[in-house]
Amino acid sequence: MKVIEIKHIVKIYTEAELEVIAVNGVSLDFDEGEFTAIVGPSGSGKTTLLNMIGGLDNPSSGEILIGGMSITSLKGSELTNFRMRNIGFVFQSYNLIPVLTAKENTEFVMNLQGKSKRECETRSLELLKAVGLEERVNARPAKLSGGQQQRVAVARALAAKPKFVLADEPTANLDSKATETLLEIREKLNRKENITFIFSTHDNRVVKKARRVITLEDGKILSDIKKNGSD
């Protein structure tokens, strides 16, 4: 089943009266359960593409559909609500709320959605256990290592059961052990719950784990390779 359909999207920025084409006529589909890495040199357009898929940036032209819904036509609170209910984000800087515990950070989006206290608690504890933080549920971000904060960010991204999860350079601030652990956690969740993960990355360790690798250069698709028996 197609989760994301990208149709001929273009993104043009204007810098000092010059037009810069960050993404140039990209068309892609992503199926449910994919584990995909988007790679390419700095300036290739991968973060811009990820931001447009997530509704954080609008294409200059073209269309993006998520679950059959065109997000390019959504504006303001309508787009915010759609993102909250359909898309999970794991940011490079984690973006955890400092005054909240790991459990409270994980519950945050579910609270915004109006889920019951019991449902929020059950889901957050289940996910924190899945990412190996059952002993740190009451710790605030300042008391957690970078790898542990990233695990909380993964749990939070999955809490509301989104259609897919986007992760921009998810291993950039982590050592090799934390990177390997988090990749294994994501891969397990991907296979167990059929969650679609899309990474923007420079990290070859992420690329090796991915079952599909899309390479961008100058805002265009250079290659799109499925591996490890993927259809």
**Domain ranges across the chain:** 33-47+74-211+222-226
At residue 228, the pLDDT reads: 62
State the CATH architecture for 33-47+74-211+222-226: 3-Layer(aba) Sandwich (3.40)
**Placement of tokens 């956690």 in the chain:** 185
> By CB neighbour count within 10 A (0-12 exposed, 13-18 middle, 19+ buried), where does 219 fall?
buried
Q: At what angle do helices 117-130 and 176-193 cross, to 10 degrees?
A: 120
At residue 192, the pLDDT reads: 83
At residue 55, the pLDDT reads: 93
At residue 160, the pLDDT reads: 83
At residue 229, the pLDDT reads: 55
At residue 184, the pLDDT reads: 85
Q: Specify whether the CB–CB gap between 6 and 26 falls below 8 A.
A: yes
Alpha-carbon torsion angle 59, 196, 46, 56, nearest 10: 40
At residue 172, the pLDDT reads: 74
At residue 113, the pLDDT reads: 87
Regions in the chain scoring below 50 on pLDDT: 231
At residue 93, the pLDDT reads: 79
pTM of the model: 0.88
